[in-house]
Every structure is written in structure tokens, then in C-alpha cells.
Amino acid sequence: MPNRSSNAGHIPQRTCVVCRTKTDKKKLIRFVLLNSEIVFDLNCKIEKRGYYVCDDNNCLQKLEKRVKKILRSRSLNGR
């Protein structure tokens, strides 16, 4: 049994921006927005704000609509 301060066995969780389902980070696809375009970050190395989406056709089809909302909120917040 690992001690409480250890991160052994910890599996990071992320939320899909489309369906809002929380799942393991490894099961989701990370993307960033560069110049208002979707860039999939398969190696998780791009140093920008990352978003996650399910590897599911339904979520991927609805992604563009969700990205428009993200861009709108970024412009309202002055980013």
C-alpha cells in the first residue's frame, strides 16, 4: 500500500470539452488552438493551453462547434 503522499498508482483525469465526460487522460485526444485553428497534440508537447476530446466520432464531429465557443470566450476575456 503506497503512502498517502505518494503519487504511485495515480491516473490523471481530464474532461472532454464536447460531452463533458471525465475519463483517463490517455483515452482522450489533446488539442491546442493556434491562430484560431485546431492542432492535435498527439505527443502532448505543445506549450499552449490544451483541451481534450474523446476519441469518438460523435465528439469529434461536434468539436468545431465547441471550438467556436471557446474562441468566443477567449476574445471576451481578452486573451
Q: Is residue 6 part of a domain?
A: no
CA distance 78 to 58: 31
Rounded Cα–Cα distance for residues 13 and 77 (Å): 26
Say if 21 falls within a structural domain: yes
The predicted pLDDT at position 25 comes to: 94
Query: Using one digit for the tens of pLDDT, what is the confidence trace for 31-44?
Result: 998 888 889 999 98
Q: How confident is the model over 12-28, as pLDDT tens digits? A: 999 999 999 999 999 99
The structural domain count of the chain equals 1
Determine the average pLDDT of the residues in 72-77. Answer: 74
Which CATH number belongs to the domain containing residue 53 in this structure?
Answer: 3.30.1230.10
Q: What is the span of the domain harbouring residue 71?
A: 13-76
Residue 7 lies in a domain: no
Indicate whether 43 belongs to any domain. yes
